Amino acid sequence: MKKLILFTLLIQCLSVFGQSNDRPNFVVVFCDDLGYGDIGAFGSPMIRTPNIDQMAAEGQKWTQFYVGDPVCTPSRAALLTGRYPIRSGMTSSERHVLFPDSANGLKQEEVTIAEVLKAEGYATAAVGKWHLGHLPEFLPQEQGFDSYFGIPYSNDMNNNGFFGEYSKNADDPNYFSEIDYFDVPLIENTTTIERPTDQTTITKRYTERAVQFIEKNKEKPFFLYLAHSMPHIPLFTSKAFKGRSKASLYVDVIEEVDWSVGQIIDALKVNNLDKNTIVVFTSDNGPWLLFKTHGGSAGPFRAGKGTTFEGGQRVPTVFWGPGIVKSGVINEMGSTLDLMNTFAALSGGKVPDDRKMDGYDLSKVLTQKADSPRKEFYYWAFAELHGYRTEQYKVHIKQRDPINYGQPTITLDKPELYDVRADISEKYDLADNFPEVVQTLLDKMEVHLKDVEGSTPDQLAERLPKE
């Protein structure tokens, strides 16, 4: 009898131990300015992305996946907090994103995915572009990450006037810039270890760090946030990829990112983690069309980065995780805003309940291919509400120039309405045909605007005093 009790206790202990190990690991690969049309599985006729294509074939390819904002800083805040960036003050009508002279960043009281998972015993690492504040009090270790390695803002910053020169050469698909034109630091935790960063090896070095983190934490659950600096201009590749595509520098760069994805997947397989890990591949916003052949393609969608057209906010997204994710194509809505709720549901973590959140739990879509709970999306840019989408219709009241989003916001004389299921390119304005639909969507926008009243004020506008 004693033996039986001991045996039962042993089994219980093992099952509890087993459960804690069963919690999935999460890897988010977040590209910078990668367009919807820049991946083979999403229709690129030119760019070879066999590793991402394989992920899409084995996992879930999402065709209507939205970023929370069409530019870098707010989009990153949206992903990590599960909140439209207007709520955290991480979007601005004065400055598009954070810059090296910015005084602020993501406030400490914001709760990130890393903090939610860390509370559940996860190991956490941020590798790559941060862009949520470069001062020590805003770096990743203040937001739930155990470690950080990367360029803390965009790779084109501190450019000493070279930015304009670069844009002039954007007609040349193989124009190659010099690394010292862009005086960006490479940071390890809180220390600058290199400046300017040798960007030719940046994708490779981010990848090495990511693989090391996976190997080091194979015995415990982990969250890896790998935010590539590429393909944001200026474009750089390692020697092995320069000229490899025989197409253009942009194509070389994406092929190196795809190689990186292959390295991550291989590391998971070698360490027997592939059945218990979810890898999300996506982008922070659409392609930067101003940079012509150095920017990517939004595929069938209108416009690109910085706009609230579909080309600015719909991004190529794959969820991979054999053993967890049920394979298929998901033609329903999802968003980076939803990763917080989804990861919390899969890990047993707690979504903050003391503030307004904007995410949905997609875990049943991933595991059972259930209907997506996301049935609507608000299009914010530069602290202004531009539009709103339900499952079928999207209304615009404001827009930005489709190519040069830096121009001031255009407030439309009258709202435009698109059937984004039938007309994915937003070509045919149906507002005159369906005035009652327009009114219903405008009413929803009014309610949403009331809901964000009293949010954290603009954190992007303030600059550090000049030295």
Stretches 67-75, 267-275, 371-379, 453-461: which one binds Mg ion (CB under 5 A)? 67-75
Stretches 27-35, 173-181, 183-191, 273-281: which one binds Mg ion (CB under 5 A)? 27-35
Does residue 72 carry a catalytic annotation?
yes
Query: Which residues are within 8 A (CB) of 292 and not within 5 positions of it... i.e. 6 or more apart?
Result: 170, 171
Among 32, 53, 156, 338, binds Mg ion (CB under 5 A): 32
Closest approach of Mg ion to the CB of residue 358, in Å:
20
Quote the CA–CA distance of 286 and 305 in Å, as a whole number. Answer: 4
Closest approach of Mg ion to the CB of residue 129, in Å:
8
- 68, 17 contact by CB (below 8 A): no
Would you say 256 or 284 has its CB closer to Mg ion? 284
Angle between helices 50-58 and 249-270 (to 10 degrees): 50
Which tokens in the block code for residue 131?
């862009």
Which tokens in the block code for residue 189?
């935790």
DSSP-assigned letter for residue 307: S
Quote the CA–CA distance of 8 and 441 in Å, as a whole number. Answer: 58
Stretches 30-38, 168-176, 188-196, 248-256: which one binds Mg ion (CB under 5 A)? 30-38
Interface with Mg ion includes 310 (CB under 5 A)? no
One-letter amino acid at 169 equals: N
Would you say 72 or 230 has its CB closer to Mg ion? 72
Q: Using CB atoms, what's the residue nearest to Mg ion?
A: 72
Site size toward Mg ion, by CB under 5 A? 5
Stretches 56-64, 71-79, 113-121, 453-461: which one binds Mg ion (CB under 5 A)? 71-79
Does residue 131 carry a catalytic annotation?
yes
DSSP-assigned letter for residue 447: H
Interface with Mg ion includes 285 (CB under 5 A)? yes
CA distances from 333 to 362, 364, 422 (A): 10, 14, 15
Closest approach of Mg ion to the CB of residue 177, in Å:
18
Interface with Mg ion includes 69 (CB under 5 A)? no
Interface with Mg ion includes 72 (CB under 5 A)? yes
Q: Burial, 411: exposed, middle or buried (Cβ in 10 Å; 0-12, 13-18, 19+)?
A: exposed
Q: Footprint of Mg ion on residues 265-284 (CB under 5 A)?
A: 284
Would you say 84 or 222 has its CB closer to Mg ion? 84
The 352-391 site mask, x for binding Mg ion (CB under 5 A), equals: ----------------------------------------
* Residues β-bridged to residue 393: 419
**Alpha-carbon 282 to chain mean position:** 6
Cis peptide, bond prior to residue 402, ω within 30 of zero = no
Among 26, 27, 29, 33, binds Mg ion (CB under 5 A): 33
Would you say 306 or 334 has its CB closer to Mg ion? 306
Quote the CA–CA distance of 100 and 181 in Å, as a whole number. Answer: 15
Angle at 221 between CA 216 and CA 227, to 5 degrees: 75
Which tokens in the block code for residue 379?
């299009």
Interface with Mg ion includes 156 (CB under 5 A)? no
Closest approach of Mg ion to the CB of residue 209, in Å:
20
DSSP output for 66-111: E-SSSSHHHHHHHHHHSS-HHHHT---SS-SS--TTB---S-TTS-
CA distances from 238 to 198, 254, 378 (A): 10, 12, 39
Stretches 66-74, 129-137, 159-167, 408-416: which one binds Mg ion (CB under 5 A)? 66-74
Catalytic residue among 31, 72, 96, 134: 72
Catalytic residue among 31, 96, 131, 396: 131
Would you say 131 or 205 has its CB closer to Mg ion? 131
The 413-442 site mask, x for binding Mg ion (CB under 5 A), equals: ------------------------------
Residues that bind Mg ion (CB under 5 A): 32-33, 72, 284-285
Annotated catalytic sites, by residue? 72, 131
